[in-house]
Amino acid sequence: MVVSLIAVAVSLMGLELLRPKRDMSNWQNEVGTMYQIFVYSFADSNNDGVGDIQGIIEKLDYLEELGVNGIWLTPVHPSQSYHKYDVEDYYAIDEQFGTLADFEQLIAEIHERDMKIVMDMVFNHTSNLHPWFVDVKTNPESQYRDYYALNDNTDPDFPRVGAWHQLNATEHYYGFFSPNMPELNLDNPQVIQEWQNVLQFWLKKGVDGFRFDAVKHFYNQGELKVIEDPTQQAVEVLQQLKRAAQQINPNVYFVSEVWLNTSAMAPYYAGNDALFQFDLAEAMIKAVNRGETGYIQQYVENMTRFQAVNPEAMMTQFLTNHDQSRVMSAVFQDQERARLAASLLLTLPGTSYLYYGEELGMLGVKPDERIREPFPWQADGLGGETTWEVVKLNQNIASVAEQQENPASLYNHYRTMIKLRATHSQLVTGKVDVIETTSKSKLVNYKLENSDGKIQVIHNLSKNSQEVRIDDVNATAIYGTITGGKAVLPPFSSAIIALAE
């Protein structure tokens, strides 16, 4: 009798009873590793050659096994391009990718795995095929005219610098990236209201956060008649969006692409939880290519700078993304250096983002299509691979299935480091204390401490084996080797050490 009552209770309350409740306020502690999916290239469920939402759902087991805590999807809205950074409808899913029901299923299955989902939001511009812009183009009385940055040619005070395109016989519109991407007038409160509605729509569906595209272009000098402080104006836009988003989810996560150097990008933290550290990414690539140890000091300085703007600033590191040469190409196809790059990325506190395929050592150099090649699931090509473009650079890359079977694969190195991140909270939330970096020996050596204790991280950026004395006699190696009171580091390797004192 008791047993059956419990069974009824479980079935009534669904999974709530069986799973620990997700604490959305704890993004900082829970989300150590994120995975960026370029949707067009990732996984194809219906053999039309193009990646899709059901394909991602089918591969969630893969992502869970890799150990990542969430995914960032490149835009999924209807769009004429393959990358879909020119949106025609912010409330729908591109039919190449599936349906709204597919996307709702994806959200549910992500959450079932205690993972998070971050959507890409392109608010700097729309597609030229967006109904607002089509109306502006075809209707002189359009109510959407003030949604865009228009210029009637006759105003002598309006310098036409930058990317202006012909709207009609007398007017131009601004589009920094392309004529197909007309830029919005973010000074128009109606536009902000539209974006607030879009965010609330997706938050009600259960999305956990947003990655905002091209934020440094929100206010390009010259696109509107008066721009006094482009940084501050962009921050205010994001703050307005945040307030509206928090009405639906108080813990909504905002991460922005502000592709500027650290000092120029830091002020944007006033409107964001997280910003991708482009300078740091470059410094980490230099660390593995040239043995330059300075990235760790840069990380610490960045944190100080960001937290001065926003005390809750989350550190957000990555190596490369869909706009840059892939890591394996950036390290000249050197396997050891690629592994070291992964180790650097995954031993920094905060949220570390991987770009799909990085864990396989995929190659990629521009043009863009070559840094977004189909993901190789199986050597026979029958694992849900996309075929929208011919694989050129990655014909000889070992597939997921092959790398999973090989304990020495790059995939398994990524997996090991991601798991360490998940099991040693200091790697995600520890306070960084740099012990030493010596450019001569090419060693990076730092401690990470939080309420769970202290660990020490050492990276050998050189091609020589090195030893580092560990004073704590009770220290134990979590990763790597300690022998006779010394951490022993082969070339381009790392050690992670639990300290007792």
Residue 94 as a binder of Ca ion (CB under 5 A): the answer is no
Residue 221 as a binder of Ca ion (CB under 5 A): the answer is no
d(CA 167, CA 296): 49
Cis peptide before 367 (omega within 30 of 0): yes
Report how far apart the first and last C-alpha atoms of the chain are (Å, whole number).
Answer: 53
d(CA 133, CA 414): 44
Question: Residue from 77, 172, 217, 415 that binds Ca ion (CB under 5 A)?
Answer: 217
CB of 298 to Ca ion, least distance (A): 29
Question: Residue from 29, 46, 221, 333 that binds Ca ion (CB under 5 A)?
Answer: 46
Name the one residue in this structure whose structure tokens are 């829970």: 30
388-409 b/e (C-beta count within 10 Å ≥ 16 → b):
beebebbeebbbbeebbeeeeb
Q: Which of residues 458-487 bind Ca ion (CB under 5 A)?
A: none
Among 30, 102, 213, 223, the one annotated catalytic: 213
CB of 122 to Ca ion, least distance (A): 11
* Minimum CB distance to Ca ion smaller for 136 or for 443: 136
Strands (E), 17-167: 33-37, 70-73, 116-121, 150-151, 164-166
Taking CB under 5 A as the binding criterion, the range among 80-88, 212-220, 285-293, 390-398 that sits at the site for Ca ion is 212-220
Question: Residue from 30, 52, 94, 373 that binds Ca ion (CB under 5 A)?
Answer: 52
Residue 44 as a binder of Ca ion (CB under 5 A): the answer is yes
The angle, 0 to 180 degrees and rounded to 10, between the axes of the packed helices 189-205 and 100-112 is 60
Q: Please indicate whether residue 257 is annotated as part of the active site.
A: yes
Q: Which of residues 168-197 bind Ca ion (CB under 5 A)?
A: 183
CB of 455 to Ca ion, least distance (A): 43
* Minimum CB distance to Ca ion smaller for 192 or for 496: 192
* Minimum CB distance to Ca ion smaller for 116 or for 217: 217
* Minimum CB distance to Ca ion smaller for 109 or for 334: 109
Residue 151 as a binder of Ca ion (CB under 5 A): the answer is no
For 429-438, which contacts have Cβ atoms below 8 Å and span 24 or more sequence positions?
429/28, 429/29, 429/349, 430/349, 430/454, 430/455, 431/349, 432/296, 432/299, 432/300, 432/303, 432/348, 432/349, 434/296, 434/297, 434/300, 437/293, 437/294, 437/296, 437/297, 438/293
Residue 124 as a binder of Ca ion (CB under 5 A): the answer is yes
Taking CB under 5 A as the binding criterion, the range among 10-18, 36-44, 157-165, 290-298 that sits at the site for Ca ion is 36-44
Question: Residue from 34, 50, 215, 285 that binds Ca ion (CB under 5 A)?
Answer: 50
* Minimum CB distance to Ca ion smaller for 32 or for 182: 182
Question: Residue from 23, 48, 65, 155 that binds Ca ion (CB under 5 A)?
Answer: 48
CB of 360 to Ca ion, least distance (A): 21
Q: Which of residues 370-399 bind Ca ion (CB under 5 A)?
A: none
Residue 374 and residue 36 in contact, taking contact as beta carbons nearer than 8 Å: no
Distances (CA, A) of 103 to 5, 53, 56, 86, 209: 35, 6, 10, 19, 15
Among 102, 183, 257, 273, the one annotated catalytic: 257
CB of 379 to Ca ion, least distance (A): 21
Q: Please indicate whether residue 236 is annotated as part of the active site.
A: no
* Minimum CB distance to Ca ion smaller for 123 or for 295: 123
The angle, 0 to 180 degrees and rounded to 10, between the axes of the packed helices 410-423 and 335-345 is 20
Contacts of 121 (CB under 8 A, 6+ apart): 75, 90, 195, 198, 199, 210, 211, 212, 213
Contact residues: Ca ion, CB under 5 A = 44, 46, 48, 50, 52, 124, 183, 217, 220
Q: What residues are labeled active site? A: 213, 257
